[in-house]
Amino acid sequence: MTGRRPTIADVARQVGVSKGAVSFALNGRPGVAAETRSRILAAAAELGWQPSQRARSLSVSRAFSLGFIVARDPALLGSDPFFPAFIAGLESTLSRQGQVLVLQVVTSPDDEVAGYRRLAAESRVDGFVLSDLRHADPRIALVQELGLPAVTLNRPDIPAPFPALCLHDTPGVTEAVRHLAGLGHTRIAHVAGPDALLHGRRRRVAFLEELDRLGLPPGPVEIADFTAAGGTSATRRLLDRADPPTAIVYANDLMAIAGMTAARQAGLRIPEDLSITGYDDTELAAFVHPALTTVRADPFRWGELAADTLLALIDGRQPAETELPDAQLVLRDSTAPPGRPPTSPAPPHPRPPVKEAQS
């Protein structure tokens, strides 16, 4: 036994039964006497036997893994606060279920399609999680063609047979606009995510619709890419306008924090000269100076639910679409009436405890 992994043949030899009996006992199947089952389980524990995932996969034609393909620049993926938390949520559920995550990061549409086809052709995954939905997303038809189940993060804008896990992000954006307008701001701008992504477009539309509802002029919108560099460039363009905004609503925290730095470099004080709101409520948001007013979502929980829902689908169940709690505005210190300091500091608003992925 030294130097090699014990097998069911070793367990069978020690107990004096057939390999079939060992297999039945270890998999909880009927046909083995209770006393024999106890002896088999004791021998397996003594020998340090562990199930072979490869053998398990072959026996039931399952990969016991889920696919998650992200079309982003790999160098920038780690700086996006959403994905580390979402992936941690996925892994938290999968590790408890004896499953694994197959993650691929690609940079072009052709590589993305090839990634889906390769994972399906090689039977490396049992299903996919689809994020960053786009207009008329071609992945819906592709995954249908591949014959694998999937879940989508929010609903696509085309018919899809897959369950959706919905986190309504627009209420948080409208709350941010309403908050700034309530402080007296009338020149409110927006740094949006890419319009090709449905959630980037949703937040931009929500921003403009809320301004219109409040009777305010449509604020300028700069399209960026959710990165710090994109947020910096967009902020500088807004501040270079003849009528620069007194407040900016950003589509994520990373761009908002970068925008704070760009504004200071331009000689502006935050929030006295410029109010700023973010989106995501990342851990850093509460520790920058001033602490960032932002919109709180829960990507970790989203990841847990995505894994749970997809595993249920793979097991032949029909899970219902899930509605997560609406994203909500968290007031901190980066907003104030235009041209005046805040009348009193925002009350402490700590983040909820962060769950850690189980390993």
Q: Which CATH number does the domain housing residue 197 bear?
A: 3.40.50.2300
**175 shares a domain with 277:** yes
* Mean pLDDT, residues 291-313 taken together: 94
Evaluate whether residue 3 is within a structural domain: no
Which strands sit side by side in the sheet containing 221-223, from one edge to the other?
221-223, 188-192, 247-250, 275-277
Residue 131, pLDDT > 60, answer yes
- Considering only CA atoms, which of 163, 118, 123, 122 is closest in space to residue 142? 118
C-alpha span between 278 and 282 (Å, rounded) = 9
**183 shares a domain with 156:** no
Evaluate whether residue 44 is within a structural domain: yes
pLDDT band at 325 (very low <50, low <70, confident <90, very high): confident
C-alpha span between 88 and 101 (Å, rounded) = 10
Segment 172-211, tens digit of pLDDT? 999 999 999 999 999 999 999 998 999 999 999 999 999 9
**85 shares a domain with 102:** yes
Evaluate whether residue 347 is within a structural domain: no
**The pLDDT value given to residue 7:** 80
Residue 155, pLDDT > 50, answer yes
**The pLDDT value given to residue 292:** 97
Contact present, 68 and 126 (Cβ < 8 Å): no
C-alpha span between 290 and 189 (Å, rounded) = 20
**308 shares a domain with 160:** yes
Segment 86-104, tens digit of pLDDT? 999 999 999 888 889 999 9
**195 shares a domain with 162:** no
Q: Which position has the higher pLDDT, 31 or 333?
A: 333
20: containing domain: 8-51
Q: Which position has the higher pLDDT, 26 or 236?
A: 236
**The pLDDT value given to residue 343:** 44
**292 shares a domain with 218:** yes
Helices (H), 157-252: 170-183, 198-213, 228-239
**The pLDDT value given to residue 265:** 97
Evaluate whether residue 346 is within a structural domain: no
Contact present, 239 and 263 (Cβ < 8 Å): yes
**183 shares a domain with 81:** no
Residue 157, pLDDT > 70, answer yes
- Domain boundary (282, 297, 312) is at 297
Q: How far is CA 79 from CA 76, 93, 339, in A?
A: 6, 23, 32
Range from 5-9, 325-329, 343-347 carrying the lowest mean pLDDT:
343-347
Work out how many domains the chain is built from and give that number: 3
Evaluate whether residue 215 is within a structural domain: yes
**183 shares a domain with 123:** no
**140 shares a domain with 105:** yes
- CATH at 42: 1.10.260.40
Residue 2, pLDDT > 60, answer no
**121 shares a domain with 29:** no
- Considering only CA atoms, which of 189, 217, 184 is closest in space to residue 338? 184
**110 shares a domain with 39:** no
What are phi and psi for residue 276, nearest 5 degrees? -135, 135
**306 shares a domain with 217:** no
Residue 51, pLDDT > 70, answer no
For residue 74, give the 3-state DSSP assignment.
helix
Evaluate whether residue 57 is within a structural domain: no
Evaluate whether residue 214 is within a structural domain: yes
pLDDT band at 29 (very low <50, low <70, confident <90, very high): low
Q: 267: which 2 tokens?
A: 């000689």
Q: Which position has the higher pLDDT, 282 or 354?
A: 282
Q: Which position has the higher pLDDT, 50 or 244?
A: 244
Contact present, 149 and 314 (Cβ < 8 Å): yes
pLDDT band at 345 (very low <50, low <70, confident <90, very high): very low
Evaluate whether residue 352 is within a structural domain: no
**Residue 66 Rama label (left phi>0; alpha psi -120 to 50; beta):** beta
Tokens 């709180």, residue? 296
